[in-house]
Structure 1
Amino acid sequence: MHTEAKDEMRDKILEAALKRFTHYGASKTTMNEIADDLHCSKASLYYYFPDKKAMHTAVLQKIAEAYFQQMEKEAVNVKSAAKALYNIIDLRRDFISKFCRLEIFQIFQDNSKFFLEEKKKAKQREFNIHTDIIKAGVALGEFKVKDPAQTAELLAQATMGLRFSIPDHIREDMDIDDEMMDLIIDKQKQLLEIFINGIKA
């Protein structure tokens, strides 16, 4: 099979898996169901992915890339750095709401070497996006900051911390529901308001 055809088939599998995972949940979806959706054999899926976890991981990488690309657009041609930072939070809310059945929150609990490295890269990418926005805010005369990178990292870390400020009755293996996500997003916006007021020029 030519590389182009292989890539096309892999993309089709990921799209079918994403559709299933988003609608029914990743844990409740079987490889047989994805194969049926594609009118192919289960063996065809295993040609591209050794197991469902590998497929799930590939789906998460695909949507994460789209998510970061959306955020990076906010850091380009910034007209208001404060507005861009609020837009980042809204993008995060929309993303998690759309893909909540992908069991994203459970992935945060995976401490395997691979996922630790992926989480490290994702954090750095988010730090870079925040740095670019804060630098733009300084250039626009909107913010007064001595070290944009350090300030951006502090903001991103504080925001990330709020993602895990969940009640004790929510188990680590559960995903966050819409009500809980709304509460976290509201806290993130409150934090951002305080933070922006603190760095205004």
Structure 2
Amino acid sequence: MLAENKDEMREKILEAALKRFMHYGASKTTMNEIADDLRFSKASLYYYFSDKKALHNAVLMKIGETFFQEQEAEADKDISSEEIFNNIITIKKQFVERFSRLELFKILNDKSEEIQQIIREVNEREAKMLTKIVEKGVASGEFDVDNPREIAQLYRDAMEGLRFAGLSCLPETLPEIDKEAFEKIVAQQKLLTEIFVRGIKKR
């Protein structure tokens, strides 16, 4: 019961932090404000999270898990692989639009071994998901490839290149996302997907 209570308290803190981060931005939020929202002492917050950075990272991990689950559910749908690729782009677009005030891309500059290990695990999870989508396309006769994992990795690398090329429109801190530049990146990703799929489609 005590463990359950600790988990519940941790979730309450994460939800309160998420709400405040989304409204004010993570960099403009203090631990005191989150503690006040919860009617906790500041010491209670530090019992669960060593500092604001640890809390911010935990919030990003929480929403990141939901983000991946949504993509993986899409990958399991009984639709064409091409549709899945495009729907995942839409999921990512909606995610960034919704959570841009969380300073999502700050974590990419964190060189600590803990965060770098998480990034490696995320990359592997995405590679597995994309491989599964390509394999589904091969099984259905949609794609004609002999090496689904290599093809999936190539697609991921190409999409990653577009994301990094446009990071200037995705602020680490406020002000708001540059919507015009962001829409351009999304359009480029959709065009790249169209060209990529055309290249591996069964003729």
Taking structure 2 as the reference length, what is the TM-score of the superposition? 0.93
Deviations 1:116-162 (A, max 9, x none): 11111111111111111111111111111111111001101110111
Kept in 2: contact 1:78–1:133 (CA 8 A): no
Kept in 1: contact 2:13–2:45 (CA 8 A): yes
Q: Which letter does structure 2 place at the counterpart of 1:181?
A: F
**Structure 2: gaps (5+ residues):** none
Q: Choose 124-133 or 111-120, whichever is displaced more.
A: 111-120
- CA 1:126–1:51 in 2, change beyond 3 Å: closer, same or farther? same
Question: CA shift at 1:69, angstroms?
Answer: 0.4
Deviations 1:39-90 (A, max 9, x none): 1111110110010000001000000000000011112143211000001100
Question: CA shift at 1:173, angstroms?
Answer: 5.0
Q: Quick one: distance in 1 between partners of 2:33 and 2:172?
A: 24
Runs of 4+ off more than 6 Å? 169-172
Q: Secondary structure at the match of 2:40?
A: coil
- CA 1:174–1:44 in 2, change beyond 3 Å: closer, same or farther? closer
1:109 corresponds to: 109
1:60 corresponds to: 60
Q: Looking at secondary structure, tell me which structure has more helix per residue.
A: 2
The alignment status of 1:200 with 2:198, answered yes or no, reads no
Q: Quick one: distance in 1 between partners of 2:150 and 2:68?
A: 20
1:165 corresponds to: 165
- CA 1:111–1:70 in 2, change beyond 3 Å: closer, same or farther? same
Kept in 2: contact 1:78–1:84 (CA 8 A): no
The alignment status of 1:4 with 2:4, answered yes or no, reads yes
Question: CA shift at 1:180, angstroms?
Answer: 2.4
Question: CA shift at 1:166, angstroms?
Answer: 2.6
- When the two chains are superposed, the root-mean-square deviation of aligned CA atoms in Å is 1.8
Deviations 1:9-55 (A, max 9, x none): 00000000001111111000011111111111111101100100000
The alignment status of 1:190 with 2:191, answered yes or no, reads yes
Taking structure 1 as the reference length, what is the TM-score of the superposition? 0.94
Q: Quick one: distance in 2 between partners of 1:3 and 1:174?
A: 35
2:27 corresponds to: 27
Q: Quick one: distance in 1 between partners of 2:5 and 2:170?
A: 42
- CA 1:137–1:171 in 2, change beyond 3 Å: closer, same or farther? closer
Report sequence identity in percent.
Answer: 51
Kept in 2: contact 1:84–1:133 (CA 8 A): yes
**Structure 1: gaps (5+ residues):** none
1:47 corresponds to: 47
